[in-house]
Amino acid sequence: MTNYREILRLHSLGLNKTEIALSCQCARNTVAATLQRAANCGLQWPLPEEMSDKQLSERLFPSSTSTPVYKMPDYEWVHREMQKNGVTLSLLWVEYCEQCHQNDELPYKSTQFNKYYADYVHKTKATVHFSCCSRSLKISSAISS
């Protein structure tokens, strides 16, 4: 774990970022990020004695508690639409994105949209029927033989 307290102490002594990185055995970018965040938080050496290393770490790099909430598509509707001629999953994804943007919601990217649809199909054992001319294929292959 990076010793943020030591980085701040060495910086107050006038060492440059490369020297601090070598001394603390961390990357120079880590030192730069720590010093930048300390300046943004108003932290300077000496630190308050009651501040623990964990508190210092949380103050410099607060954990993000909010995760983005994506709008889950209605895969039952997607599956019904997929049974129509000329409808593709990418077309439905574009419609889904437009609907999300109109409602100020966050849409899934196409890869996640497709993955969740595949999971839905697998979970519900849903089948997609393709209108195919298998009979005409058999006839044409028999004629060409």
Of 124 and 129, the one with more pLDDT: 124
pLDDT, averaged across the chain: 85
pLDDT of 61 reads 84
Do 59 and 43 form a contact (C-beta atoms < 8 A)?
Answer: yes
> C-alpha distances in angstroms, 10 versus 13, 37, 42, 53?
5, 16, 17, 16
- Domain ranges within the chain, ordered by starting residue: 4-60, 68-145
pLDDT confidence band for 43 (50 / 70 / 90): confident
The 10s digit of each residue's pLDDT in 50-62 is: 888 888 898 888 8
Question: 106: which strand partners?
Answer: 70
The mean pLDDT of 33-60, rounded to a whole number, is: 89
pLDDT of 145 reads 46
The mean pLDDT of 7-15, rounded to a whole number, is: 93
The mean pLDDT of 120-130, rounded to a whole number, is: 75
Q: Is the pTM of this model over 0.85?
A: no
